[in-house]
Amino acid sequence: MTETIQTAVVGVTGYAGAELARLLLRHPRLQGVPPVFAGRVDAKDLARGGVPLAEIHPQLAGGNGSGNLKLEPFSWELLAGRGVEVLFLATPHEQSRQWVPEALARGLRVIDLSGAWRLTEAANRAVYAFADEGSEQAAAIQAQAVYGLPELHRAQIAGARLVANPGCYATSIILGLKPLVAAGLVDLDHGIVADAKSGMSGAGKAPTARTHFMYAADNLSAYNVFTHRHTGELLEQIGVEQSQIVFTPHLLPIPRGILSTIYVWFHDPQTAATVSRVYREFFRSSPMIRLHDKTLPQIQYSLRTNYADIGFQLSADGRRAVVVSCLDNLLKGASSQAVENLNIMLGWGEAEGLE
């Protein structure tokens, strides 16, 4: 078991990067060993050695010394000089695609929050149009990547050199569906409908016309119907065909949070007790899952927590179920899941620093 370790974060300026920094700075195993924060630094800030973290995210300034930390100019030499062993990439997909090969070659273990290495099938990766698609190097790295959903791949994460952190929508839907599909209860040919709604932070920090306040406020909109890049994650991780699931994402006019409403049909009538038992058995070793037996989850219950909340209700005849899965897209949908993966990789308690 590793007692402590030097981490580094690239991409701390974004929403998920800020939450990742907060969690790592407060992690009980990392006290006294704050992350190295590296990234792009403007010329005007080079003279002072970087940008103080408290200027980027004033909420992170505190008595733990974080007020003295800086975002420093990224270089591989910086990481090597500081003894970095685990690198978090909260960077765009294309950037992670470029940097991961170099990081692995330098002996770093990587937790990548982008979609660069999540998908094993070329047909599903096509949505990203990666420039190196089909290359020998990309294929070799993809073969090493472990999909970082602890509830499914805990054992593989423990020994991984590259963990591909799941997408936020994908996390919500996979956690709600996988137990039922794995138990053989779901009539896949009848079709699954996953209707998911996310707060605006899921679109990232860079503003667009669609995320402008005047567009998003007092509005609810569907987007990327049949083409969302998280669809491939659902197919690969749940084990369904494209014809067996419809996933429709929506933008909610709230800052953060995801609620996925999932509609399934069963082969045979089920009881609430049977379905509940399936979920509890599947998640028996998963500390970051909260199961709701009597009420359905809501965004306000999971907001700013590191948990995924899952509940369901059956139709009167027991042939259909509505599953509701909620999480904070910046936490269990991104940063706290990355920390959960760190804990598993290093042999620490899975929930350390998260409960």
Divide the 355 residues of the chain into consecutive groups of 10 and give the mean pLDDT of each group: 85 97 96 96 92 94 77 98 98 97 98 98 96 97 98 98 98 98 98 97 84 90 94 98 97 96 98 98 98 96 98 98 98 98 98 96
Helix (H/G/I), strand (E/B), else coil: 88: strand
pLDDT at residue 75 in the model:
97
Q: Which residue has the tokens 């499914």?
A: 152
pLDDT at residue 65 in the model:
62
Long-range contacts from 41-47, C-beta under 8 angstroms, 24+ separation: 41/71, 41/72, 41/73, 46/73
The architecture in CATH of the region 7-165+334-345 reads: 3-Layer(aba) Sandwich (3.40)
pLDDT at residue 210 in the model:
82
Q: Name the residue ranges covered by the structural domains of the chain.
A: 7-165+334-345, 168-327
Confirm whether 168 is a catalytic residue.
yes
pLDDT at residue 89 in the model:
98
Strand partners, 129: none
pLDDT at residue 207 in the model:
79
The active-site residue, picked from 168, 186, 251, 326, is 168
Count Cα neighbours of 346 within 13 Å in the Cβ-side half-sphere.
24
**Fold that domain 168-327 belongs to in CATH:** Dihydrodipicolinate Reductase; domain 2 (3.30.360)
pLDDT at residue 3 in the model:
75
State how far the Cα of 15 lies from the Cα of 23, in Å rounded to an integer.
13
Spatial contact of 17 and 45, defined as CB atoms under 8 Å apart = no
**Residue 186 DSSP one-character state:** B
pLDDT at residue 1 in the model:
47
